Every structure is written in C-alpha cells, then in structure tokens.
Structure 1
Amino acid sequence: MATKSANLYVRIEPEVKEKAESILSALGIPASSAINMFYKQIILQRGLPFEVKIPSARPVDISTLSGVEFNEELEKGYADMHDRRTKNAKKAFADIRKDYGL
C-alpha cells in the first residue's frame, strides 16, 4: 500500500460537505478514503466515474396539468407501453433516484 502523504485542499459548500459526510459516516467510510476511492476511479475510468450531463427531461408535475393535458400524458404512457418502450419499476425508480440525486 502506498504511503499517504499528499494533501488536498478544496472549498465546497458547507451543506454539501455535511450531507456527504453524514452518508459516509453511516457507511463507516472516512471522507479521506472516499476521496481516495474517487480519485482511483478517475484513474481506472480515465475520466469521471459517472455521467455528467443536464437531464434532457424532467418528470411531469401532474398537479400543474389541465384535464386535457393530463389525458395526453396518459395517452403517451399507453403508447409507450403498447410499443414496448418501458422498463420495469425497479429499474425506473433506480434511474430516477440516480438522475435526481434522491
């Protein structure tokens, strides 16, 4: 194992640091180990180990739709189901959590 002797100084938003460290603590992972893992993944992936992009679409907020718009959305969903452009619920919810940081 290599000696850990390099220092890294970063400035981040306090609430981001607090939330991340709370999750890491629950996992039993010190922040320094998590950052080391992140850097190793950057090396292995030869880039960021996750996709960085602006989501192309947001989920529809049905509370803002008129009756006609709501029915149009239902029709779109029915057409997707009919044309087999669907995924199972477990995968859909995992994607939503990933895409929206939930």
Structure 2
Amino acid sequence: MANTSAVYARIDTNLKDSAEDILSKLGISPSSAIQMLYSQIVLTKGIPFDLRLPSAKPLAVGAMTREQLDAELQKGVDSIKAGKVYSADEVDATLAKEFGI
C-alpha cells in the first residue's frame, strides 16, 4: 500500500460543492485534484497559478461622464505627444493579459 497522509481543510460549503460538481463531470475525485495541485506545487516550486489582485475592469465609454471621457482622451493625446504609441497587436495583447478581453 502507498505511503499516504490525510489533508484536512475547512472551506466554504458552496465552494466545495461547486468544485466537486465540476470535478465529478471531469471524472476526477477531490483527492486526485488535491494530489494534482500538490504535484504542481512541487514541480513549479510554488503556487502553479498567478496570485495577484485583479485589475480593475475598463469602464465602458457609455458609462463615463463627459469629464471622465475628456480626461481619458486627454491621456491619449498626451501619450501620443510624448511618443508613446502602440500597434493594434500590442494593445490587443495588453487587454487580453490584463483584462481577459
């Protein structure tokens, strides 16, 4: 028999149920999922995903006040005057990375 140890954790019931529902659909037991997480921690020598505060979502133009829109447009004009220009591909990559869009 394999040398195993028990891991005990207290988590929110709704979170547990939601996660276990997804794991069940994937055909993975909660124990296997925890084993996978621990294996990735060892392999990567750290948490296997980014831990950072979420970026604020960009505000839709239609939700901005006139003053907010003017301020954002002025930032763009100032950026261009300062020589800070970006290709459409660079902008798309930044939006995808920071906001997932």
Larger radius of gyration, structure 1 or 2?
2
Runs of 4+ in 1 over 6 A off after TM superposition: 74-77
Out of 68, 83, 91, the position equivalent to 1:86 is: 91
1:75 is displaced (CA, Å) by 7.8
Residues 86 and 6 (structure 1 numbering): CA distance in 2 closer, same or farther, change over 3 Å?
same
1:73 is displaced (CA, Å) by 4.8
Tell me the percent identity.
34
TM-score with structure 1 setting the length: 0.66
Counterparts of 1:1-102 in structure 2 under 5 Å? 3=2, 5-55=4-54, 57-62=55-60, 64-70=63-69, 73=72, 83-84=86-87, 85-87=90-92, 92=96, 96=100
Residues 7 and 24 (structure 1 numbering): CA distance in 2 closer, same or farther, change over 3 Å?
same
Deviation digits for residues 42-80 of structure 1, max 9, x if unmatched? 00011111111113x311233641144346557878x8x
Q: Hey, what's the Cα distance between the residues in 2 that align with 1:46 and 1:72?
A: 44
Q: Which moved more, 1:46-55 or 1:57-66?
A: 57-66
Count of residues in correspondence between the two structures = 93
